[in-house]
Amino acid sequence: MNEKVIISALLHDVGKLIQRAKMPDYISRLISQLKRENVSKREVTKHSFFGRYFIEKYTKDSDILNSVLLHHNEEIENADISPNSIAYIIYISDNISAGADRRKNERDAENKKKCEK
């Protein structure tokens, strides 16, 4: 389990790298693939989805994949994962590394989006 935590911690934000690497062809193909899989437009733009789909080419380990996909409150809050999932460790460590617990900010942003609709 320790190795998985380390790997997950190192890779959880790889989707940001993909988004910022200016790889328009790769990103376009990835967005098209995600849309074919009926992933919503809102979800398609999240770095956690980019990261999970990228890493999925290299591992099928659900602990690692879930840690990459679910490291923000909005995703982990509704996830169907074990209470012992290492995704929770990555989520908490991501909040610590950001210097603040993002749950309130994420909820505020979500509420703002709902009000704008």
pLDDT along the chain (117 residues), means of 10: 89 86 76 77 77 90 92 85 90 81 64 70
117 SS3 class:
coil
| pLDDT for residue 104 | 63
CB distance 95 to 102 below 8 Å: yes
CA–CA gap between residue 11 and residue 48 (Å, rounded): 10
Indicate the domain borders of the chain: 2-116
| pLDDT for residue 74 | 80
| pLDDT for residue 103 | 58
